[in-house]
Amino acid sequence: MPNVAPPLRWDIFCRVIDNLGDVGVCWRLCRELAHRGQQVRLWMDQTDALPWMAPGALEGHWPAIRILKWEPQWSHERYAQLPRSDVWAEAFGCEPPEVFISQQRALWPNGQAPVWVNLEYLSAEPYVERMHRLPSPLMSGPAQGWTRWFFYPGFTSATGGLLRESDLPARQAAFDRQAWRNSAAPATTPTRISLFCYEPPALPWLLDTLHGNTDTALLITPGRADVAVQHWLGQRPSPPYWVRRPLVDQTGFDEMLWACDLNFVRGEDSLVRALWAGQAFVWQIYPQDDNAHHDKLDAFLDWLDAPADLSDLHRFWNGMGGHPPPDLSPARLREWASATQRARARLLEQEDLATQLLGFVMEKR
């Protein structure tokens, strides 16, 4: 894919809130920018997940990406040693340190400034199209007089799009799905379901449904999903067709989604990957205390044009009412996969997030 911007230096800021989806999004963006000739400094306050999520990232295997540990004790002198950057991208509203802003501002002539982007949360709600690309003038602090811009990922052409690697279709076409399925679970189980979740209210329903179903292999991801399943099992032995998966890098996670017939996913990064996978999926949205996630989920299901039983399962899975389907038969999963594939086709007609972000930066320079 040809570059849409000359080589620029980027600072991308990532504070890890929980569950590591923010790390996944930021690393994917950094890697895609690097593929397009950009130089990136990725600031992270926690880097523990990178060795397994992005092997080699901390060792400099991507020369165009430099990982900087975002530490409060960084001195003015250390910040002063950094060359000027052209673009600042704060992921999910994590504002750069004031000392960084002050030191960088001193490197810009009067009347000039970096392109400063607030890369926002993903949503299908109507406000995203209204807010996308709007300016936010800074009225105080070391950046007074500069402008920060809202940049919203999204599902329509009036938003910033979704992260999508330029080689994704080729990788999917070359993927040996049957070989992966055979290696991951007993060949006697024709259906494969992956479980990547928090602790959804409906998890006992799913485990009850699958516990005696020898036609279905359940692939359980590490972390909260695995802990929740082991808690449900208690003293019961785990069925041999329930497979505890290891930690894998982002490519390995994608391949699991491509290979399974139904994917239970959570958060934002894995939702996008489930869409690109083109298989049936159920999304557990990140819960919020004021239940704002209810509207967010409903807006997404409307955009997806999901079948009624799939929408009902999403609400049931997220504790929003609804009912489970009478079965998870292959025919039902194929119908749900068709809905995903129709949505994916719409998304493939739109420019991806990295392309749009590069174009936006060149517009504002």
CATH number at residue 240: 3.40.50.2000
Q: Choose among 180, 147, 140, 169: nearest CA to 277.
A: 169
Instruction: Give residue-wise pLDDT tens across range 277-295.
Output: 999 999 999 887 787 788 9
Residues 146 and 241 in one domain: no
Is 45 domain-assigned? yes
Residues 31 and 128 in one domain: yes
Mean pLDDT computed over 304-327: 96
Is 2 domain-assigned? no
Instruction: Decide if 249 contacts 52 (C-beta within 8 A).
Output: yes
Distance CA 112, CA 365 (A): 9
Mean pLDDT computed over 37-46: 94
Residues 331 and 358 in one domain: no
Q: Which two tokens stand for residue 341?
A: 């594939």
Distance CA 302, CA 156 (A): 12
Residue 274 burial by Cβ neighbours in a 10 Å radius (0-12, 13-18, 19+): buried
Residues 325 and 188 in one domain: yes
At 21, the amino acid letter reads G
Is 219 domain-assigned? yes
Q: Is 268 annotated in the active site?
A: yes
Is 131 domain-assigned? yes
Place of tokens 């609804």: 322
Instruction: Give residue-wise pLDDT tens across range 136-185.
Output: 999 999 999 999 999 999 999 999 999 999 999 999 999 999 999 999 99
Residues 249 and 281 in one domain: yes
pLDDT band at 77 (very low <50, low <70, confident <90, very high): confident
Residues 153 and 189 in one domain: no
Residues 259 and 217 in one domain: yes
Q: Containing domain of residue 172, as a range?
A: 168-348
Catalytic residue among 90, 268, 269, 352: 268
The model's pTM is: 0.95
Residues 143 and 264 in one domain: no
Q: Choose among 6, 44, 7: nearest CA to 25.
A: 44
Residue ranges of alpha helices (H) inside 278-319 are 292-304, 308-317
In order, the DSSP letters of 150-195 are EE---SSTTS------TTHHHHHHH--HHHHHHHHS-TT--EEEEE
Q: Choose among 56, 11, 2, 47: nearest CA to 29.
A: 11
- Residue 22 pLDDT more than 60? yes
Residues 272 and 249 in one domain: yes
Q: What's the mean per-residue pLDDT of the chain?
A: 94
pLDDT band at 269 (very low <50, low <70, confident <90, very high): very high
Q: Is 327 annotated in the active site?
A: no
Catalytic residue among 11, 22, 125, 261: 22
